[in-house]
């Protein structure tokens, strides 16, 4: 599929997808004869994995590492080290999600306080 369809499916901008390609994070599997990026379903799944990491503040390098780990696990003869690293990623993601949850709770408290201060017509 063309980059526009991928952008729509992943809710990422064309610019972001091009950047991911330029830095080698996720490159399209093919190019058309005219040089247009052509993505497969597997490419889209990789992009969606990255998109899911963004709210948890993973760096591009960490995203790249996770993709390498998932490639190693899905390939023939996956190693125990790769599986261990995937478990570490899962634990870290859970911790990051808990931190994000605490931030959302504080934001909710803040909004409630602002509404309280604004009075009955404030929200």
Whether pLDDT at 112 is above 80 = yes
**Residue range 90-106: mean pLDDT, rounded:** 97
The 3 state secondary structure assigned to the chain is CEHHHHHHHHCCCHHHHHHHHHCCCCCCCEECCCCCEECCHHHHHHHHHHHHHHHHCCCHHHHHHHHHHHHHHHCCCCCHHHHHHHHHHHHHHHHHHHHHHHHHHHHHHHHHHHHHHHCCCCC
Model confidence, pTM: 0.82
Read off the pLDDT band of 110 (50, 70, 90). Answer: very high
Tell me, what's the pLDDT at 122?
59
């Amino acid at each position: 599929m063309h980059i526009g369809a991928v952008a729509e499916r992943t809710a990422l901008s064309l610019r972001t997808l091009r950047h991911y390609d330029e830095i080698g994070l996720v490159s399209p599997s093919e190019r058309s004869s005219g040089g247009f990026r052509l993505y497969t379903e597997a490419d889209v799944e990789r992009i969606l994995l990255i998109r899911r990491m963004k709210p948890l503040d993973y760096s591009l390098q960490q995203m790249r590492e996770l993709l390498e780990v998932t490639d190693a696990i899905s390939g023939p003869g996956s190693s125990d080290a790769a599986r261990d690293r995937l478990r570490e990623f899962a634990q870290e993601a859970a911790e990051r999600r808990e931190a994000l949850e605490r931030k959302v709770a504080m934001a909710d408290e803040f909004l409630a306080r602002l509404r309280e201060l604004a009075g009955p017509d404030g929200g």
